[in-house]
Homo-oligomer: A and B are copies of this chain.
Amino acid sequence: MKVRVTVSLKEGVLDPQGKAIGHALHVLEFPEVKEVRVGKVIELDVDGSDAAAVEARATEMAKQLLANEVIEDFAVEVVK
């Protein structure tokens, strides 16, 4: 089964990478860009056929490794 875990910085947490991309986009003449936030998408291919069980395990993986819950939020989506 495929599971997608999207990890993003929490609201209010400074995003230096986003700031750098925003500045670069302005230099490349995209003045309409007001803010840029960068996150991760982690696609997992796992054994298993029960979507609920797979989602619970992926949530556990996110809590233990994939996301730093102090500064990041995550969302788990069973794709198929």
Contacts and interface: CB of A to CB of B under 8 A. Distances in A.
Interface residues of A, number: 31
A61 B30 contact: yes
A39 B43 contact: yes
Nearest to A22: B44
A25 B62 CA distance: 10
A35 B42 CA distance: 10
Contacts of A44: 33, 35-36
A34 B66 CA distance: 16
B37 A43 contact: yes
Contacts of A35: 44-45
Contacts of A18: 42
Given A25-B65, A65-B24, A57 B40 contact: no
